[in-house]
Copies of this chain bind each other. A is one copy, B any other.
Amino acid sequence: MSKGTVVLAYSGGLDTSCILVWLKEQGYDVIAFLANIGQDEDFDSARKKAENLGAKKVFIEDLRSEFVEHFILPAVQANAVYEDRYLLGTALARPCIARRLVQIAQKEQAEFISHGATGKGNDQIRFELTSYALYSDVKVSLVEKAKPCSAPTDLYLMTKNPDEAPNVPDVLEIEFKNGVPIKVTNVKAGSSKDKPLEMFMYLNEIGGKHGVGRIDIVENRFIGMKSRGIYETPGGTILLQAHLDIETFTMDKEVRRIKQGLGIKFSELVYNGFWYSPECDFLLHCINKSQENVEGKVQLSVYKGQVYILGRESPKSLYNEDLVSMDKQGDYDPCDASGFIRVNAVRYVRIKSRGVLYS
C-alpha cells in the first residue's frame, strides 16, 4: 500500500540515491527527475542507476536552453551580483529545476516532492519556495535522516588555473539588443554564435580556457549563517562586464541609478529563493523595461583570468563626442557650469540669524 508518489530531484550522485532508496523503504512510489542544466554527468548511467534503485519512472530533461534564456539572460540584464561578488549561478538554476519538478509532480499527480538539499543551506529554500509558489498544496518530503553522506566540495570544473591559461588573449565582440547578447564573435577566428545556449556555452569555453570568473568568498546565507563559497562563472563574468559597459554607454544616468538599486534587490531575492514571487516578477518587468535602448557591440579581450573592455559602439549611444570634447564649445556655455555649481552650493550658506516662521 503506497503512501503516495514523490517526485525526487535526482542528481545521479550518492546523496539523492540514498534518498531514493529511503523513500521507497518508507512506502512511497518514487519518480526520479534529473535535469540537465549543463553539468558534467553521464545521463544514461544515471537513468539506469535510478531504475535499479527502484524508481517507478525516471525523467531526464535537457533544460539548458530554458535555463540560459529564461534565467541567465534576465540576470545579465540586471547585472545580478549578490553581495558585490557572487554571480548567482546555482541560485538561478534552482527555480528552473524546481519549476519542472513541480510540473512533473502535477502531471503525474504526485502530492510530494523531495530533494537532496540540506536543511542549512540556501538550496532547500530555493527548491521549496519555488515549489510552494507554483504548486501551493505540494508537500515536501524531508529526508534529513537518510543523509549520511558528506557534502561534496565545490571544485573548479570549468576554469583553468589562470597561471596555466594561454599567453595569448582571445578577443570577442558581443552584440546586445534589449540588454541581452544576440551574437558573440571571436574576432580573430571570425567565427560567431547567435543562439542563447550556444553563445553561453562558447563564453563558458573561452572564459574557462583563460581562467576567468573564479571566486573564493564568504557569503551570507538567507538563514543568517555565513558560509564559504568557491565558485566559477566564466561565461557569466564575461557577460556581466560586457553588459555593464554597453548599459552605461546607452542608458540615461538617472535611469541607471534607479535600475542599479532594483538590480541589487533582484539579486538578493534570487539568492534567497524568491524567483517566483510577486516582487521578483515586478522587478523583472521593470528591469526589462530599462533595457529598451541597451544595444550595440562591445569588444573585449579575455586573458589570464581577466576581461578587458577594448571598446564599444551603439546606434543608441548617448555619448556625444562633440559635446564632451574639451576642444569644442558647441552649444555648451561654460558660464552655465558656474551657475550650476553656485546653485548647488546655495545649501552651504548657513545663516547666523534665528529663523522664525509663524503665520
Residues of A at the B interface (CB closer than 8 Å) are 79, 83-85, 118-121, 124-125, 128-129, 132-133, 136, 140, 142, 144, 150-151, 162-163, 167, 169, 214-221, 223-228, 230, 244-245, 248-249, 252-262, 264-265, 268, 274, 277-279, 282-283, 285-286, 289-290, 296, 299, 303-306, 308-315, 317-324, 326-327, 331-351, 354-359
Contacts and interface: CB of A to CB of B under 8 A. Distances in A.
Contacts of A262: 258
A218 B357 contact: yes
A319 B352 CA distance: 10
Contact of A261 (B167, B261, B278): B261
Contacts of A132: 341-342, 345, 348
Contact of A144 (B216, B322, B324, B334): B334
A317 B290 CA distance: 29
A118 B329 CA distance: 11
Given A218-B249, A324-B226, A357-B313, A83 B256 contact: yes
B136 A349 contact: yes
Given A125-B340, A257-B268, A323-B351, 6 more contacts: A119-B335, A133-B345, A214-B308, A217-B245, A303-B304, A317-B351
Contact of A334 (B85, B119, B283, B317): B119
A252 B223 contact: no
Nearest to A285: B289
Contacts of A335: 119, 142, 335, 339
* Most B-side CB within 10 Å, residue of A144, A226, A306: A226
Contacts of A224: 253, 343-347
17 contacts: A124-B341, A129-B345, A227-B324, A249-B357, A255-B279, A277-B348, A282-B290, A303-B304, A303-B305, A311-B357, A315-B354, A317-B354, A318-B350, A337-B339, A339-B339, A339-B342, A339-B343
B319 A252 contact: no
* Most B-side CB within 10 Å, residue of A120, A121, A259, A306: A120
Contacts of A227: 319, 324
B355 A313 contact: yes
Contacts of A324: 120, 221, 225-227
Contact of A218 (B245, B260, B268, B282): B245
A175 B296 CA distance: 43
Contacts of A289: 282, 285-286
Given A313-B354, A347-B254, A128 B248 contact: no
Nearest to A252: B278
A296 B358 CA distance: 13
